[in-house]
Amino acid sequence: MPLVVPGITNKGDGASKTEDWTNKLVGKKLGSSSDATTFARADLPKETRVIEPGSMVTKDFNPERLNVHLNKDGTVSHVNHQ
């Protein structure tokens, strides 16, 4: 029987959620409405943290929290759940 470690050797819910949000957000800016280059902040999950360059953040782990990392120009560079 092969070793299965959730989130490492198989795609669990967390990995697919992160991948979904990556596809929706990376390369876009956050704004008040959604279009080809902007994503509405109101459509983000309740547990979302937007992290700008140089921002300080806590290191507490919350697998339901979506972290949205921005570039200096305000576009989303990457996302993760933690």
Q: What is the pLDDT of residues 35-46, one digit of tens each?
A: 999 999 999 999
pTM greater than 0.85: no
pLDDT for residue 65? 96
pLDDT for residue 30? 96
Domain ranges for the chain: 13-81
pLDDT digits (tens, 9 = 90+) for 4-52: 445 444 445 567 999 999 999 999 999 999 999 999 999 999 999 999 9
> How far apart, in Å, do the first and last CA atoms of the chain sit?
30
Which structure tokens are listed for 45?
């999950």
| CATH of 13-81 given 3.30.10.10, 3.40.50.720, 3.40.50.620, 3.50.50.60 | 3.30.10.10
Q: Which residue has the tokens 């999950």?
A: 45
Rg over CA atoms, the chain = 14
